[in-house]
């Protein structure tokens, strides 16, 4: 039995800050961003957008294609949780009007947790083929103003329907993984922004890739030549180039620059303009590859490298299924990106500061243009609004 991703759709916010605007404000050469880190824009969430509203926007087009009562579990991965106790997935479950016969849980490890949720879902379906699982990876990447990470913010959510006989990607058994207790990026309780040792974090990322790859080869017996394409966790898109160069060097492959580009470039198109979305970023990269590859991907083997600072990493693989093209939601992805409203630096700062909502009572101005929004907080209870009616 094949198990994997049956449908996949991502959502991002309605606003973006151009790194040209950012560079002008900071007095920096814009090529540091456009070329040096490979980023052009970052999606910015207004105060009435959070991981719950983003994930509802990501999941709604999937739910609309199935019977929502078929969902047996929601596995919600995030670094930017909205409550220390209640899972963000429980809010999402309410907004999407899912069945009460459903389990919901939140997964956390920095940017890695989406892969943990996906692998858990795959295992659950293998154990019981009747399971139909909604896997969510959603994050708002936020660093201190004027810190090295500020240019690599962004936000996004990915929804993946995981089931038997999937229509898009069959996930293959076996993976390589690696954990090390390091401090390259972390966010103590009560902080809304991450702390990061930027240069060190890129070193740990690349070392984790080598370690996870070695384990993957030992576990599966597959080699670099068995792969057609690679999706990496993308904190900023130039990291993909650094990662793939590291892997190519490790395995001693001789690739032309055209092959190098074919194996990685389609996966970077969206992340260049969405920015980092932590746990969602690998899977937005996968959407980007599916939507932007020129050739037919049927039967192609993809390698996926997931990295979460702190650190946990995993390399796994999957095969693109026949007819996958009919199930992509390319138009929705492109339309969301293209219709974002550009912000100037002061507007970005206003959103940035208002979003710190560690308050008992607050009503948020209506900036979110999507069907789901965070209206406010009343007596510490988050109040969401939804345009979706019960089925």
Question: Is residue 105 a contact point for ligand CAA (CB under 6 A)?
Answer: no
Instruction: Note the maximum CA span of the chain.
Output: 61
Shortest distance, position 355 Cβ to ligand CAA, whole Å = 19
Q: Across-strand partners of 316?
A: 304
**385: Cα within 13 Å, side-chain hemisphere:** 17
Shortest distance, position 170 Cβ to ligand CAA, whole Å = 27
Give dist(CA 227, CA 205) in Å, integer.
21
Determine which one of 9, 93, 109, 233 is catalytic.
Answer: 233
Structure tokens at 381: 């209870």
- For ligand CAA, give the closer residue by CB, 28 or 332: 28
Q: Examine the residue annotation and report whether 79 is marked as an active-site residue of this protein.
A: yes
> Could you say which residues in the range 330-369 bind ligand CAA, by CB under 6 A?
none
Structure tokens at 151: 């240019």
Question: Is residue 233 a contact point for ligand CAA (CB under 6 A)?
Answer: yes
Site string for ligand CAA, 252-281 (x = CB under 6 A): ------------------------x-x---
C-alpha closest to that of 115 among 231, 256, 258: 231
Site string for ligand CAA, 294-323 (x = CB under 6 A): -------------x-x--------------
Question: Is residue 196 a contact point for ligand CAA (CB under 6 A)?
Answer: yes
C-alpha closest to that of 155 among 228, 85, 52, 260: 52
End-to-end, the C-alpha distance of the chain in Å comes to: 31
Asked whether the CA dihedral 209, 117, 286, 323 is positive or negative, the reply is positive
Shortest distance, position 370 Cβ to ligand CAA, whole Å = 24
- For ligand CAA, give the closer residue by CB, 170 or 282: 282
Query: In the set 20, 29, 67, 180, which binds ligand CAA (CB under 6 A)?
Result: 29
Number of residues counted as binding ligand CAA (CB under 6 A): 26
Shortest distance, position 239 Cβ to ligand CAA, whole Å = 6
Can you give the length of the chain in residues?
A: 391
Site string for ligand CAA, 141-180 (x = CB under 6 A): -------xx-xx----------------------------
The owner of tokens 């105060």 is 47
User: Is residue 143 marked as binding?
Assistant: yes
Shortest distance, position 198 Cβ to ligand CAA, whole Å = 2
User: Is residue 276 marked as binding?
Assistant: yes
Q: Examine the residue annotation and report whether 111 is marked as an active-site residue of this protein.
A: yes
Report CA Rg, the chain: 20
Residue 303 in contact with residue 231, Cβ under 8 Å? yes
Residue 54 in contact with residue 138, Cβ under 8 Å? yes
The helix/strand/coil state of 303 is strand
Structure tokens at 47: 């105060």
The helix/strand/coil state of 170 is strand
Shortest distance, position 312 Cβ to ligand CAA, whole Å = 11
CA distances from 41 to 23, 32, 342 (A): 11, 13, 9
Q: Which residues are catalytic?
A: 79, 111, 233
Binding annotation for (3S)-3-hydroxy-3-methylglutaryl-CoA: 29, 143, 242, 276
Binding site for ligand CAA (CB under 6 A): 29, 31-32, 35-37, 111, 148-149, 151-152, 185, 196, 198-199, 201-202, 205, 233, 235-236, 239, 276, 278, 307, 309
**Residues at the annotated binding site?**
29, 143, 242, 276
């Amino acid at each position: 039995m094949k198990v994997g991703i049956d449908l996949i759709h991502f959502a991002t916010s309605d606003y973006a800050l151009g790194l040209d605007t950012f560079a002008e404000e900071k007095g920096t050469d814009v090529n540091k961003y456009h070329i040096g880190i490979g980023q052009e824009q970052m999606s910015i969430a207004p105060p009435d957008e959070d991981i719950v509203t983003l994930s509802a926007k990501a999941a709604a087009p999937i739910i609309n294609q199935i019977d929502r009562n078929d969902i047996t579990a929601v596995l919600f991965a995030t670094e930017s949780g909205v409550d220390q106790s209640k899972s963000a997935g429980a809010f999402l479950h309410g907004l999407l009007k899912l069945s009460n016969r459903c389990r919901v849980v939140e997964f956390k490890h920095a940017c890695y947790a989406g892969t943990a949720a996906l692998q858990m879902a795959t295992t659950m379906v293998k154990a019981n083929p009747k399971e139909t699982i909604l896997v969510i990876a959603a994050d708002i990447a936020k660093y201190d103003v004027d810190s090295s990470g500020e240019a690599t913010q962004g936000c996004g959510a990915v929804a993946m329907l995981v089931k038997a006989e999937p229509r898009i990607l069959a996930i293959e058994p076996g993976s390589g993984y690696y954990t090390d207790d390091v401090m390259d990026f972390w966010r103590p309780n009560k902080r809304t922004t991450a702390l990061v040792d930027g240069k060190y974090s890129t070193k740990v990322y690349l070392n984790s890739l080598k370690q996870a790859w070695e384990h993957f080869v030992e576990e599966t017996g597959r080699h670099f030549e068995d792969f057609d394409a690679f999706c990496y966790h993308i904190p900023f898109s130039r990291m993909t180039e650094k990662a793939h160069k590291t892997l190519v060097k490790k395995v001693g492959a001789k690739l032309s620059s055209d092959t190098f580009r074919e194996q990685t470039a389609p996966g970077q198109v969206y992340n260049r303009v969405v920015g980092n979305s932590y746990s969602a970023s690998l899977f937005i990269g996968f959407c980007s590859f599916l939507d932007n590859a020129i050739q037919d991907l049927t039967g192609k083997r993809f390698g996926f490298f997931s990295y979460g600072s702190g650190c946990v990493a995993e390399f796994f693989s999957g095969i693109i299924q026949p007819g996958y093209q009919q199930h992509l939601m390319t138009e929705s992805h492109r339309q969301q990106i293209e219709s974002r409203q550009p912000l100037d630096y002061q507007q970005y700062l206003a959103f940035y500061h208002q979003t710190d909502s560690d308050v008992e009572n607050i009503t948020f101005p209506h900036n979110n243009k999507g069907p789901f929004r965070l209206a406010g907080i009343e007596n510490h209870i988050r109040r969401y609004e939804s345009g979706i009616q019960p089925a």
